[in-house]
Structure 1
């Protein structure tokens, strides 16, 4: 009798993951990614503020998906990239600075005032520029690590820097990736930083990236907050005091005549309902002062109880 060991079959979960990897991640369904990269931009700006006297601004330009090779080819001869390894993701991440970014950083960190014209020649990066970029890679790696802590406890260990995009290998060049591009503005000039993450590293976190983190919001502008609060408080609302409500039929309403008196069951001691925009607010007592009717607020109306009262037969 011939004996053979049956070949293991992939589980349904494995098959689904393979299909998702082949189709790629949809950025529209990952709202947490822009939040994470916004935090990265803020963290980079904060770390740079401690190193430079001149003010520099980071901002997230956009997030896109594409092939690793296609994206890196657009920066050939124009950028320095740093390759990071993430043990938790078992993957590599690329951070890159284009020429304008590096030249702007040199001026910012060495105290320039922006009076000199920006460097526009196509020369190779100097040793000082490469060493400066390597130091900045460490800051960006920490910013990414802190930002991704929203969805994953991950570390980014800097391995090497490259100026040739052919050597910046983090997987097959035709593999899909997510690329976030950032804009640096300083000394009336700027540059671009980009972060490239293989989609295979993000696929296991797609559920966390698809849901907005609780309590995550953009910082409030106190000036605008005070302005909006003031405008809201000055807005006019119309109040209506209801002494009594009664249901009648259309036939009864059709018999109304001018001068007819409608008797009310309410008295001066009956409670008055105060509402605005047809929403009940308070129960009040009716009174008089200086020849005018006045209301004294007695209690707030419980909307849930009001709804139940309306359902009960009277």
Structure 2
């Protein structure tokens, strides 16, 4: 007789099967949320260093073999290899040639009037040092963004310009690659983040669900603009002193000049509402020959409902 497999062994087999099949990106919406936040965080960090406005945007997220993805950047990028102790895995962040050249101009105060650099030369020491500084910023942004689903830190181990030296595992292993675009001074470039699927598999359940609090971050400029426009919207307020129900016959019998006695007095509360929505209880008064309202309490609709249905 064979002993039944234990639970731990069953989980290991399932993970191996998932690794072999690959993650379905359309079933991991949190990945797009995380990389959207990464673009926003990188842009915010860059605003503190550059005088010119620069924008990051998420281009797309794809999956593929590590070797195939890196081959597309051979001779055209600087790659930073990071280690994440919490994931027990490595991550690659890369900047293509246009990204590096654009970033150098932005950081050194160029305004875009000079023609862009079109050179296949090796990266200079200054360009490499700038790339290293940017790698550190991206590492902090990755840590903040992945905090939605997992605690992780990313430590830069080395940088490479030869993609075949950027080894983080077998080249035929599956990985997820996010590509982000940089736009500044009428030019731009591409940044990519490559994460082995084996590192993401343990958190696939967290990546498969989103909550209202995990939506893409709001752009502060647009938020301020929208708040300003909403604040200027005109609404109509109505003060209601008293309401009563009458029959249709009584309403039809109303005549011009007829007096309608009210039960309300000067001490009665006045309901302030807008668009049929009760807002505040007010007291009625006079000032400089005009009626005025003093706001006293916000209307609690739940309490008002209970007061109506419960006997007193």
- Short-chain TM bin: 0.7 to 0.9
Structure 2 SS opposite 1:159: strand
> Comparing 179-188 with 205-214, which one deviates more in the overlay?
205-214
1:88-237 map, 5 Å: 88-107=86-105, 116-121=114-119, 123-126=120-123, 128=125, 131-132=128-129, 135-136=132-133, 138-140=135-137, 142-144=139-141, 146-148=143-145, 150-151=147-148, 152-209=150-207, 210-211=209-210, 217-218=217-218, 220-221=220-221, 225=224, 228-229=227-228, 232-233=231-232, 235-237=234-236
Which of 80, 83, 90 aligns to 2:81? It is: 83
Unaligned runs of 5+ in 2: none
Kept in 1: contact 2:59–2:181 (CA 8 A): no
Distance 1:129 1:197 in 2: 27
For residue 307 of structure 1, report the CA deviation from its aligned partner. Answer: 1.0
Shift of 1:239: 0.8
> In structure 2, do the counterparts of structure 1 residues 44 and 312 end up closer, same or farther at CA, with 3 Å as the change threshold?
closer
Match of 2:57 in 1: 60
Conserved in 2, the CA contact under 8 Å of 1:84 and 1:158? yes
Q: Distance in 2 between matches of 1:288 and 1:154?
A: 64
Q: Write the deviation string for residues 152-183 of structure 1: whole angstroms up to 9, x where unpaired.
A: 44332333333343343323444433322233
Mark the CA change 1:59 to 1:268 in structure 2 (over 3 Å): closer, same or farther. same
* Cα pair 2:272 2:281 within 8 Å, conserved: yes
TM-score calculated relative to the size of structure 1: 0.72
Which runs of no fewer than 5 residues in structure 1 stay unpaired?
Answer: none
- Provide the residue aligned with 1:253 in structure 2: 248
Question: Is the CA contact (8 Å cut-off) linking 1:60 and 1:180 kept in structure 2?
Answer: no
**TM-score of the aligned structures, taking structure 2 as reference length:** 0.73
Distance 1:285 1:140 in 2: 57
Distance 1:7 1:235, change over 3 A: same
1:42 aligns with 2:43: yes
Which has the larger Rg? 1
- Flag the 1:69–1:310 CA change in 2: closer, same or farther, 3 A: farther
Shift of 1:88: 1.6
